[in-house]
Amino acid sequence: MKHIIIILLAWMSINQAGQGLYACKNANISLFSSAPLEDIAANTQSGTSVFNAATGDLVFSVNITSFKFKKSLMQEHFNSDYLESDKYPKATFKGKIQEHIDVTKNGNYPVTAVGELDIHGVKQNRSIPGMLTVNNGTITMTSEFMVKCVDHHIDIPRIVFHNIAETIKMNVSAVYTAAGK
């Protein structure tokens, strides 16, 4: 009887410590804005994210230099002039999913993540809607949201104004696997 209790206890604690942590190393993040002269589009496959299903904690991080553009000059300007990736190498989101999702049940769950979006070294409190999908232990999260350049002190000079939209559409898609112990 005592042995059973001890074994049960040990199993519970191991199970609890590892429970609910899901990680993604290759989140797909893309940005898009339509402007009169040319569309601005970039994509990265190397965003990282961790989701704690037990607490709802959600963190995202992406290296600014990992965004790939069609035009190499646009990519250079994105890094050196607009996002200043030498000073602010990463964009991050740290927040919490408001809804409690039972990740053992398959389904599509609309969720809202509330937290701090840090781009260009400027933090903004955001409430970002998304969709969480559970399929046999695999969690997928997708979200589409807008980022205003002015909110993150990304200056667009008047002379190139027509080339660049003031609001950028972001698409995020991350497939998580259980992070284990």
Partner 1 sequence: MKINLKKSLIIAALFASTANVKAQQKSSADSLLNAIDGPAQAERVVIFKSTRLVNSQTTEMIKKQNFNFQIIHRFGDIAGKNGGPQTAFGIDRVNDVYFGFEYGVSDNFNIGLNRSTIGQLIQFELKYAVMHQTSDDSSPLALTLIGEAGVRPYGAYQAFDDRASFLAQAVIARKFSALSLQVSPTFVRDNTPFPLVAGNEQQFFAIQSAARIKISNHSGLLLDYSHPFSNYRSNNPNFQDPIGIGYEVETGGHVFTVNITNSNSISEVNLLSNSQSRFSQGQYRIGFTISRMFDFRPKNKK
Binding residues vs partner 1 (CB under 8 A): 2, 5-6, 9, 12-13, 16-17, 20-21, 23, 25, 37, 43, 48-52, 54-55, 57-59, 61, 63, 65, 68, 70-74, 76-77, 79-82, 84-86, 89-90, 94, 155, 157, 159-160, 163, 179
CB of 48 to partner 1, least distance (A): 5
Structure tokens at 72: 């190499």
CB of 158 to partner 1, least distance (A): 10
Which is nearest to 101 in space by CA: 64, 43, 54?
Answer: 54
* Burial (Cβ within 10 Å: 0-12, 13-18, ≥19) of residue 135: exposed
CB of 87 to partner 1, least distance (A): 9
In this structure, the number of other CB atoms found within 10 A of the CB of residue 83 comes to 21
Amino acid letter at 133? T
Give Cα separations from 108 to 11, 19, 133, 148 (angstroms). 30, 21, 4, 29
Q: Which is nearer to partner 1, 148 or 162 (CB)?
A: 162
Q: Which is nearer to partner 1, 106 or 116 (CB)?
A: 116
